[in-house]
């Protein structure tokens, strides 16, 4: 046990050193010469203080992103090799003979342990975001959201784990296939209820007060065949200075939502461009393509998890303190493998997402025909979020589900130039 813990700590430390070297010394985020002095050059729309803050904040945020995910895997690994997962299972079994109650106790204990271990890192993220004036949320407000997150995630985890391990116990070889079949209606159900049940737990949604703007947005929505009678605004200025707008939900529960920070910082033309972009996703069925892609990845992921769990327990079961995958004590192994596979799949899902975001940008510019507003929107998004215009390659590959600001401004200006010709 000591040997494996020592090796895992050493690997994590060396990985952290590599990430630090790459982010702070090895990565290149300079703007190519042909774009310097243009609309995408942050020197043309950000002052010296904003430029410095943007570089510093982006590096901190990227470093914490790359080191946080493996830290959670490390927690699960420690829980397994120390035998703590087995002890939690025995404790859960001693409390009740009913499997659903055993699952609830085990999931609660594991979730609480992981949350407490990860809390210092989450608190550090909050403090960094607060110090750079991205977050405006009070500590009490932040803690409230953390508690809501914990209980909502825990409730869903109990349900999912109970079904998952019920299937594993009944269909040891094909559980992953039955789990995937059940995930289809469950995913659609979550997307349907999220706008009306889950999102309001975190924020208060009210009809857009600016009725003139709402009329213009709904006119675009009608052209896009989006079944919306109202535009909602949400008071995010209590939590952040960042900007956002989105179309969420499916069917009759579709909602068009604007953050009040977006309303306060952008002009009407810029807001209309953003809303046209979000509606572009709806028109081009990106939400359904996303669901389809998610389900394909889920199927592959569950199959791979089954194979990897079988191999890990067969080969290293004595180290992981596991006798088989049917016991609740194997849940940390399942979650660790899930995290690793999700992280490994991010570059592929991000490629598809970036392609869709570009299509939505081009749809929006064709709808609004206002290149100046489109470019100034991305400039303001960069300032508000202290984002990098041209992030390092690995950061873009793993983190960017949208094209970089450099890419977005560049192809929008190319569209405007082509139209003038």
Binding-site residue set for Zn(2+) = 277, 281, 357
Torsion of CA 315, 320, 326, 332, to 10 degrees: -130
Torsion of CA 364, 374, 275, 138, to 10 degrees: 150
Catalytic residue list contains 145:
no
* Helix/strand/coil percentages in the chain, nearest 5: 75, 5, 20
DSSP state, 255?
A: E
Residue 56 neighbours by CB distance under 10 Å: 13
Length, in residues, of the chain: 421
Identify whether the C-beta of residue 258 lies closer than 8 Å to the C-beta of residue 337. no
- Phi/psi of residue 381, nearest 5 degrees: -60, -35
Distance CA 36, CA 28 (A): 15
Residue 217: which of 247, 252, 261 has the closest Cα? 247
Q: Which of 214, 233, 278, 407 is catalytic?
A: 278
Max distance between CA atoms of the chain, in angstroms, equals: 77
Residue 401: which of 299, 281, 242, 224 has the closest Cα? 281
Q: Which of 361, 372, 380, 420 is catalytic?
A: 361
Distance CA 85, CA 114 (A): 12
Residue 388: which of 36, 52, 131, 24 has the closest Cα? 52
Catalytic residue list contains 278:
yes
Annotated binding site: 277, 281, 357
Residues marked as catalytic: 278, 361
């Amino acid at each position: 046990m000591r040997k494996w813990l020592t090796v895992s700590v050493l690997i994590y430390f060396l990985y952290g050193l590599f990430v630090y070297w790459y982010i702070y010394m090895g990565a290149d985020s300079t703007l190519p010469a042909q774009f310097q002095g243009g609309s995408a050059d942050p020197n043309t729309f950000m002052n010296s203080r904003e430029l410095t803050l943007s570089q510093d904040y982006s590096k901190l945020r990227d470093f914490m992103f790359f080191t946080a995910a493996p830290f959670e895997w490390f927690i699960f690994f420690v829980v397994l090799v120390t035998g703590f997962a087995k002890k939690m299972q025995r404790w859960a079994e001693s409390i009740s003979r009913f499997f659903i109650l055993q699952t609830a106790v085990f999931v609660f204990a594991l979730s609480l342990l992981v949350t407490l271990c990860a809390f210092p890192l989450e608190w550090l993220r909050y403090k960094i975001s607060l110090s750079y004036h991205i977050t405006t949320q009070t500590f009490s407000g932040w803690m409230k959201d953390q508690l809501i997150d914990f209980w909502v995630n825990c409730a869903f985890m109990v349900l999912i784990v109970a079904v998952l391990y019920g299937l594993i116990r009944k269909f040891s070889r094909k559980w992953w296939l039955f789990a995937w079949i059940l995930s289809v209606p469950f995913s659609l159900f979550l997307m349907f209820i999220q706008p009306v049940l889950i999102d309001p737990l975190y924020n208060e949604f009210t009809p857009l007060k600016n009725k003139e703007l709402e009329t213009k947005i709904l006119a675009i929505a009608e052209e896009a065949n989006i079944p919306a009678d109202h535009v909602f605004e949400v008071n995010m200025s209590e939590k952040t200075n960042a900007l956002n707008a989105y179309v969420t939900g499916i069917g009759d529960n579709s909602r068009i939502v604007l953050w009040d920070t977006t309303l306060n910082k952008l002009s009407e033309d810029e807001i209309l461009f953003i809303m046209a972009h979000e509606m572009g996703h709806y028109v081009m069925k990106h939400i359904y393509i996303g669901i389809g892609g998610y389900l394909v990845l889920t199927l592959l992921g569950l199959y791979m998890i089954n194979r990897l769990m079988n191999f890990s327990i067969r080969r290293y079961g004595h180290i992981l303190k596991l006798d088989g995958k049917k016991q609740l004590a194997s849940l940390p192994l399942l979650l660790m493998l899930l995290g690793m596979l999700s992280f490994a799949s991010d570059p592929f899902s991000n490629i598809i997402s970036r392609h869709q975001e570009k299509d939505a940008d081009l749809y929006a510019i064709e709808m609004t025909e206002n290149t100046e507003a489109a470019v100034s929107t991305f400039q303001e998004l960069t300032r508000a979020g202290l984002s990098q215009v041209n992030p390092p390659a690995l950061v873009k590959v793993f983190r960017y589900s949208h094209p970089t600001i450099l890419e977005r401004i560049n192809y929008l200006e190319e569209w405007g130039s082509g139209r003038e010709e």
